[in-house]
Amino acid sequence: MGEIRASDVVYAACDALVAGLDAPGLRILAACTRAEADYDVQDLLPAALAELGLTFYPIAGKAGQEAAARALARHMLAASSRLVSSLSGFTSATDTSCL
């Protein structure tokens, strides 16, 4: 597959089923043996993702790189927002002007 082993994709499909996601392609993907995974995952993954309403981005494609950059930016913004909220709670808890 590229960045991730095919068997890890199969394990992720199993985890998704356990978590409550369900689609025929996801079940087929989760049923792959280790021996089958290296050969079948690349063909099965795009259909399984599509059935779940997700988009498959080829590893070297520009659209995938842009989607990854957007996801990373959202993650970083959410983390910084949580940090600011935590710090504002901390400063108000240590404010001594009320003493």
Domain ranges (residues) in the chain: 1-56, 59-99
Pick 76 or 89 by higher pLDDT. 76
pLDDT at 91: 57
For residue 88, the SS3 value is helix
pLDDT in tens, 11-36: 999 999 999 999 999 999 999 998 99
When pLDDT is averaged across residues 70-92 and rounded to a whole number, the result is: 75
Alpha-carbon span 94 to 99, nearest angstrom: 10
End-to-end CA distance of the chain: 61
For residue 99, the SS3 value is coil
Alpha-carbon span 57 to 35, nearest angstrom: 24
When pLDDT is averaged across residues 65-89 and rounded to a whole number, the result is: 78
